[in-house]
């Protein structure tokens, strides 16, 4: 709306790392037409705002990016650790958000009528109370992991951490029988609650039940038992996804021609490889995977950040140029929906898992951190739509066996059938009478109240 038509200000507080801010922006883009009198102020670091707000996209004029400090100390020299920017940022919260929000209130002369945040931001419970406004927390990962974070203290108490967690099971927790303590986010079991991320997640577990609503990029039918357990812990638990099925078809760039190349491949014959936005497997695992692809001869698309000549074995690109393509960023969503794609070698980030379900592609899992191992166990043991790779690390032999299993065995076909059921549930959820659509209407009511 033009400034004079703005009747409401809604604050959106994004987490600027991994794939967190962009699904939050997708959610706000979906909400904005439902609240035409509102202006959404998207508080986020400059780096992340620049990455997710597209220059030429004027469709969402009512959503304005607003930059907050990323917490980098003056004269800071990076040690190169990928956790450092996250920790610096976590230390700067919530003051960086508060300062920016106060400036907006001063500039506009309006107060915020609602706060929508990444679920990590437990401090929004206090902000919302001060403003007497609803707090909508958005969880960007799956339902199992959010449920576990609520029970961090209980889990720590039961596991008797002083004797380690190896071999211990979560059987004491409803919905988690058969899941090992080593499979769940390590911040829950062994994080130092004084260090920024485990502290943030622990506090989140304590504060989220205060949220007016917790929205999640998932759908109820994906894991009904877990969703029911979670329902009883929140005021409103709103499964509104998969968001990728609810947005207008965005322009997805394919400068390297992955999709045209896929058009020439046989049905369900290609392995797509990506480890998401933050993970880079260690060199020996990249080498093992490259050797497995080369020896097995399966066709592939490999999305790998950085210079592939440096990351992959010498001569690999040249030797495999008729079998595969290597790109620095792929149109993943479209690749996973292409009929030639038959397997997805993934780190099991939640967005990738959902996109694979939507595309009906079985997963070969190499989990790294956070919720990824838990997602892997769910993929393998609960849904039966994928397999682990070797003993956890990628080995040539493990990768070859997993590729063989998914791309050329009956078991792979069986996984595809199970995926077809899940896929159908995902599409049904976003139809006009679907559960995600109903939950989205409830969410709209929360923010328009």
User: Which spans of this chain sit near ligand U2F (rule: CB under 6 A)?
Assistant: 18-20, 140-141, 274, 276-279, 303, 329-330, 332-333, 349-352, 355, 370-372
Query: How far are the Cα atoms of 151, 159, 340 from residue 168, in angstroms, in the given order?
Result: 16, 7, 41
61, 70, 118, 126: the catalytic one is 118
Q: Closest distance between ligand U2F and the C-beta of residue 132, in Å?
A: 30
- CA atoms of 378 and 384, how far apart (whole Å): 8
Structure tokens at 278: 């933050």
Nearest to ligand U2F of 101, 389 (CB atom): 389
Nearest to ligand U2F of 133, 430 (CB atom): 430
Tell me how far the alpha carbon of residue 192 is from its chain's centroid. Answer: 23
- Cβ atoms of 129 and 137 within 8 Å: the answer is no
Nearest to ligand U2F of 112, 261 (CB atom): 261
- CA atoms of 305 and 290, how far apart (whole Å): 15
Nearest to ligand U2F of 49, 113 (CB atom): 49
Q: Closest distance between ligand U2F and the C-beta of residue 259, in Å?
A: 13
Query: How far are the Cα atoms of 75, 282, 296, 391 from residue 395, in angstroms, in the given order?
Result: 42, 12, 13, 9
Structure tokens at 127: 């902000």
Virtual CA dihedral for 81, 85, 87, 92, nearest 10 degrees? 160
At residue 151's C-alpha, the angle toward residues 145 and 154, to 5°, is 140
Q: Closest distance between ligand U2F and the C-beta of residue 130, in Å?
A: 28
Helix axes 196-207, 83-92, angle to 10 degrees: 50
- Cβ atoms of 119 and 146 within 8 Å: the answer is yes
Smallest CA-to-CA distance from 39 within 65, 21, 14 is with 65
Q: Closest distance between ligand U2F and the C-beta of residue 285, in Å?
A: 16
- Cβ atoms of 130 and 108 within 8 Å: the answer is no
Q: Is 338 a catalytic residue?
A: no
Q: Closest distance between ligand U2F and the C-beta of residue 433, in Å?
A: 27
Q: Is 149 a catalytic residue?
A: no
At residue 358's C-alpha, the angle toward residues 353 and 364, to 5°, is 40
Nearest to ligand U2F of 18, 400 (CB atom): 18
- Cβ atoms of 219 and 241 within 8 Å: the answer is yes
12 φψ region: left (φ > 0), alpha (ψ -120 to 50), beta (else): beta
Nearest to ligand U2F of 142, 342 (CB atom): 142
Nearest to ligand U2F of 13, 279 (CB atom): 279
- CB-hemisphere CA count at 13 Å for 145? 29
Q: Closest distance between ligand U2F and the C-beta of residue 115, in Å?
A: 20
Query: How far are the Cα atoms of 87, 128, 184, 343 from residue 66, in angstroms, in the given order?
Result: 21, 19, 35, 39
Q: Closest distance between ligand U2F and the C-beta of residue 45, in Å?
A: 16
Nearest to ligand U2F of 275, 316 (CB atom): 275
- CA atoms of 28 and 8, how far apart (whole Å): 14
Smallest CA-to-CA distance from 218 within 203, 231, 204, 232 is with 231
- CA atoms of 337 and 140, how far apart (whole Å): 21
Q: Closest distance between ligand U2F and the C-beta of residue 352, in Å?
A: 3
Helix, coil or strand: residue 387: strand
Nearest to ligand U2F of 24, 31 (CB atom): 24
20, 149, 299, 338: the catalytic one is 20
Q: Closest distance between ligand U2F and the C-beta of residue 2, in Å?
A: 33
Catalytic positions, written as ranges: 20, 118
């Amino acid at each position: 709306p033009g400034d004079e038509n703005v009747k409401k200000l809604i604050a959106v507080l994004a987490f600027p790392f991994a794939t967190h801010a962009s699904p939050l922006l997708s959610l706000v883009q979906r909400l904005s037409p439902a609240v035409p009198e509102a202006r959404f102020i998207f508080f986020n670091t400059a780096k992340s705002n620049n990455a997710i707000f597209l220059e030429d996209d004027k469709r969402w004029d009512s959503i304005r990016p607003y930059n907050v400090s990323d917490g980098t100390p003056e004269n800071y020299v990076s040690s190169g650790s990928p956790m450092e920017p996250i920790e610096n940022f976590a230390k700067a919260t919530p003051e960086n958000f508060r300062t920016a929000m106060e400036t907006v209130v001063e500039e506009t002369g309006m107060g915020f009528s609602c706060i929508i945040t990444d679920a990590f931001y437990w401090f929004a419970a206090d902000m919302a109370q001060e403003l007497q406004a609803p707090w909508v927390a958005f969880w960007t990962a799956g339902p199992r992991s959010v449920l576990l974070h609520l029970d961090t203290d209980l889990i720590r108490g039961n596991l008797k951490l002083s004797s380690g967690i190896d071999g211990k099971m979560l059987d004491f927790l409803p919905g988690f029988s058969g899941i090992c303590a080593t499979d769940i986010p390590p911040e829950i079991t062994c994080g130092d609650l004084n260090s920024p991320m485990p502290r943030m997640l622990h506090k989140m577990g304590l504060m989220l039940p205060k949220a007016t609503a917790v929205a999640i990029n998932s759908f109820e039918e994906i894991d009904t038992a877990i969703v029911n357990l979670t329902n009883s812990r929140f005021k409103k638990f709103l499964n509104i996804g998969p968001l990728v099925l609810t947005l207008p078809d965005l322009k997805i760039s394919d400068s390297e021609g992955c999709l045209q190349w896929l058009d020439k491949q046989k049905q369900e014959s290609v392995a797509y490889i990506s480890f998401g936005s933050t993970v880079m497997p260690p060199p020996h695992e990249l080498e093992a995977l490259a050797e497995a692809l080369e020896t097995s001869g399966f066709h592939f698309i490999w999305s790998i950040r950085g210079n592939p000549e440096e990351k992959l074995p010498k001569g690999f690109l040249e030797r495999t140029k008729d079998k595969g393509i290597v790109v620095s960023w792929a149109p993943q969503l479209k690749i996973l929906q292409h009929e030639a794609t038959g397997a997805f070698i993934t780190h099991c980030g939640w967005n990738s898992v959902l996109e694979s379900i939507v595309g009906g592609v079985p997963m070969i899992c190499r989990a790294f951190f956070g919720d990824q191992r838990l997602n892997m166990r769910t993929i393998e043991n609960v849904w039966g739509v994928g397999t682990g790779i070797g003993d956890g690390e990628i080995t040539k032999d493990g990768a070859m066996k997993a590729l063989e299993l998914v791309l050329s065995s009956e078991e792979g076909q069986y996984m595809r059938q199970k995926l077809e059921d899940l896929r159908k549930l995902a599409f049904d959820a976003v139809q006009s009478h679907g559960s995600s659509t109903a939950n989205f209407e409830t969410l709209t009511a929360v923010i328009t109240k």
